[in-house]
């Protein structure tokens, strides 16, 4: 067995499109954004004036002692400028905090909502571990991008512009030329090298998601791994992918070291040239000691953000790469969507009609061929047949997890494609073969059929499903935790929770999809009685393998390779002496006598 990786991450990315996707979420807080920008400008103006006051202080304190007086104005100006820098900076941060966190919340909520609107096909193909990691990195990337763009890149660029203007205005032309030249060389070098480095980061993300997906998948299927003794295989597969990740991580680090060295060389050359010009001016008596202090202070102010700018730019590119997948998820089209003029379904008596329904999961693999049948309101229809006959596909189509590729499914004469999905699904309850419960309490799982139900209603549903006595005997009662996927409960107990959940939903349409096939004979007979009771007066579709469980259905369909080959009551089908009669005879012979 070989591990198959996705390969390197794609090199083509559209950062502008990613930023456009983010902008509407930020702009919903436009007044906060504008006020924060005002504070940003005020803080930077105050910051740039600090060296000017410092120069005045040094020059006034450098005069002969006989002429020296306390430079009160310069001292007060310096103190006010430093205070303003701090105050406006803190105000900016406080104003923008709501913008950042509010944007993340809105995006995360809409993404979560969008994932629920995507088709069953998407969710069957997705890998939960990789998906959760992509969302986690994407939301963190949003916070990083907003904070460092607003708090570092914009202030730094603004400060660079103001410092260049001051140097050009007060000093020799070359001061401004060297300053801008150093900055331009630094930015160009950083941009070029960082772009080349991004391929390693994207590859790291892909391999990280892949390793995480495989690890979580193996842990979820812990029992299967143990059954087949494949712990070593899973470990080797995980380690192999981590090895590929380490290779990309090392290349990423080496390229980072090269980038940092290059940036250091550029900054050092620029600082040395400016200090040389300053010292030359003092010797020529065209500049004072205060001017040297001024230039040095500006260099110090610019050096830190410029050095940090390289890190910020790299991290912003990383954040954009992390956000790319998340916004890609939001851009995925919904395969099944409400029609623009869709109407809500509202009925307690539902007639279901399949009219010449064709369906295929893949274009070259058709599942259903012209399936037609009617379930009158309040009646029960059972569908039987061999595995792969297309029985369970009927329930997925009725729920509209997929749209039919031919024909129509109608409820009370209306094509379900003309009904809103929410209202359609509110009218359908299902007791599946494999009941999957949330890792929460028994009470929570029963209440999932109607989250607004009272405790009394939950207990009534549990009593009707004959699970109340069992729950009452538990030390924690309805607060008993069921474990991941309900593993702490037996198959019969999980099925009774599923029945109680469906009763609490109280739908007019009921689907029983192989609801007892995984249970032992004694438990099956007990639950069959309960299912028969809850299906009374409901339009019921039973999908079954054991014919004894559907003998009293109002009508039975026999399916084979996606087609209805027989139809009638139990007695009629036995009298036909066809496929149903053969299946009945075979199952009767196999049952213990």
* Domain co-membership, 37 together with 160: yes
Cα of 305 vs its chain's centroid, Å: 33
Structure tokens at 136: 């986690």
Cα–Cα distance measured from residue 366 to residue 517, given in angstroms and rounded to the nearest whole number: 26
Cα-only R_g, the chain: 35
* Domain co-membership, 393 together with 463: yes
Structural domains in the chain (count): 2
- Per-residue pLDDT at 6: 36
Residue segments in the chain with a per-residue pLDDT below the cut of 50: 1-11, 65-67, 593
* Domain co-membership, 69 together with 177: yes
> In which element (H, E) is residue 35 found?
helix 30-61
| β-pair partners for 540 | 380, 510
Residue 491 domain-assigned? Answer: yes
Pairing of strands 352-362, 406-411: antiparallel
* Domain co-membership, 356 together with 492: yes
**Closest by Cα among 265, 260, 282, 267 to 178:** 267
* Domain co-membership, 398 together with 303: no
Residue 324 domain-assigned? Answer: yes
- For residue 450, is it left (φ>0), alpha (ψ between -120 and 50) or beta? beta
Please, what is the angle between helix 173-220 and helix 154-170, to 10°? 170
* Domain co-membership, 462 together with 558: yes
- Per-residue pLDDT at 493: 84
Instruction: Strand 380-385: give its sheet, edge to edge.
Output: 428-432, 509-513, 539-544, 380-385, 555-560, 563-568
> In which element (H, E) is residue 293 found?
helix 289-330
Please, what is the angle between helix 30-61 and helix 289-330, to 10°? 160
Residue 68 domain-assigned? Answer: yes
CATH number at residue 291: 1.20.1560.10
- For the chain, the straight-line distance linking the first and the last C-alpha, in angstroms and rounded, comes to 45
CATH number at residue 368: 3.40.50.300
> Scanning the structure block, which residue is given the tokens 């803190």?
90
Residue 340 domain-assigned? Answer: no
Residue 262 domain-assigned? Answer: yes
Cα–Cα distance measured from residue 36 to residue 42, given in angstroms and rounded to the nearest whole number: 10
* Domain co-membership, 279 together with 372: no
The residue range of the domain holding 39 is 15-330
Cα–Cα distance measured from residue 107 to residue 138, given in angstroms and rounded to the nearest whole number: 10
Please, what is the angle between helix 173-220 and helix 231-283, to 10°? 170
* Domain co-membership, 278 together with 391: no
- Per-residue pLDDT at 36: 84
* Domain co-membership, 494 together with 532: yes
Cα–Cα distance measured from residue 331 to residue 104, given in angstroms and rounded to the nearest whole number: 17
Cβ count near 346 (within 10 Å): 9
DSSP 8-state symbol, 329 = H
Cβ count near 261 (within 10 Å): 10
Q: What is the pTM (predicted TM-score) of this model?
A: 0.64
* Domain co-membership, 240 together with 369: no
Cα–Cα distance measured from residue 104 to residue 140, given in angstroms and rounded to the nearest whole number: 8
Residue 335 domain-assigned? Answer: no
Residue 390 domain-assigned? Answer: yes
> In which element (H, E) is residue 111 found?
helix 72-117
Residue 130 domain-assigned? Answer: yes
* Domain co-membership, 323 together with 358: no
* Domain co-membership, 357 together with 324: no
Handedness of CA 395, 398, 401, 404 (dihedral sign): positive
């Amino acid at each position: 067995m070989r591990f198959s990786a996705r390969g390197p991450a794609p090199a083509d990315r559209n950062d502008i499109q990613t930023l456009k996707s983010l902008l509407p979420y930020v702009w919903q807080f436009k007044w906060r954004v504008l006020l924060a920008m005002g504070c940003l400008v005020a803080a930077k103006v105050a910051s740039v004036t600090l060296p000017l006051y410092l120069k005045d202080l040094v020059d006034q304190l450098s005069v002969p002692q006989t002429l020296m007086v306390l430079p009160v104005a310069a001292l007060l100006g310096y103190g006010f400028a430093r205070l303003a820098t701090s105050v406006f900076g803190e105000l900016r941060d406080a104003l923008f905090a709501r913008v950042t966190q509010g944007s993340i919340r809105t995006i995360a909520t809409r993404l979560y909502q969008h994932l629920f609107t995507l088709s069953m096909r998407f969710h069957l193909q997705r890998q939960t571990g990789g998906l959760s990691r992509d969302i986690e990195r994407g939301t963190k990337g949003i916070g990083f991008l907003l904070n460092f763009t607003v708090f570092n890149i914009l202030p730094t660029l603004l400060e660079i512009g103001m410092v260049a203007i001051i140097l050009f205005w007060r000093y020799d032309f070359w001061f401004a030329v060297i300053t801008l030249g150093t900055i331009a060389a630094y930015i160009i070098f950083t941009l070029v090298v960082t772009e080349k480095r991004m391929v390693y980061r994207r590859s790291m993300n892909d391999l990280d998601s892949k390793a995480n997906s495989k690890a979580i998948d193996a842990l979820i299927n812990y029992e299967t791994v143990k059954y087949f003794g494949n712990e070593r295989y899973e470990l080797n597969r995980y380690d192999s992918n981590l090895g590929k990740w380490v290779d990309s991580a090392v290349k990423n680090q080496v390229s980072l070291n090269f980038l940092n060295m290059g940036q250091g060389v550029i900054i050092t050359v620029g600082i040395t040239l400016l200090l040389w010009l300053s010292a030359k001016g003092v010797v020529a008596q065209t500049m004072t000691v205060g001017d040297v202090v001024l230039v040095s202070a500006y260099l110090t102010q610019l050096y830190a953000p410029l050095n940090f700018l390289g890190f910020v730019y790299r991290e912003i590119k990383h954040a954009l790469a992390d956000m790319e997948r998340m916004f890609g998820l939001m851009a995925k089209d919904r395969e099944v969507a409400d029609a623009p003029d869709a109407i809500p379904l509202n009925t307690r008596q539902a007639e279901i009609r399949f009219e010449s329904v064709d369906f295929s999961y893949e274009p070259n693999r058709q599942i259903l061929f012209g399936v037609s049948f009617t379930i009158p309101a309040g009646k029960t229809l059972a569908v039987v047949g061999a595995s792969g006959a297309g029985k369970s596909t009927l329930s997925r189509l009725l729920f509209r997890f997929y749209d039919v590729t031919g024909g129509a499914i109608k409820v009370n004469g209306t094509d379900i494609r003309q009904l809103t999905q929410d209202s359609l699904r509110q009218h359908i309850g299902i007791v599946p073969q494999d009941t999957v419960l949330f890792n929460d309490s028994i009470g929570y799982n029963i209440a999932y059929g109607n989250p607004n139900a009272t405790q009394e209603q939950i207990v009534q549903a549990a009593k009707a499903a004959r699970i109340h006595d069992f729950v009452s005997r538990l030390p924690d009662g309805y607060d008993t935790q069921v474990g991941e996927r309900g593993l702490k409960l037996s198959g019969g107990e999980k099925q009774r929770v599923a029945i109680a959940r469906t009763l609490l939903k109280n739908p007019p349409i009921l689907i029983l999809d192989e609801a007892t096939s995984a249970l032992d004979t004694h438990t099956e007979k007990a639950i069959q009685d309960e299912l028969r009771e809850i299906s009374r007066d409901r339009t019921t579709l039973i999908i079954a393998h054991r014919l004894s469980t559907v003998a009293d259905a109002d009508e039975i369909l026999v399916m084979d390779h996606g087609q209805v080959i027989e139809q009638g009551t139990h007695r009629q089908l036995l009298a036909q002496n066809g496929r149903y009669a053969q299946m009945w005879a075979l199952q009767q012979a196999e049952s213990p006598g």
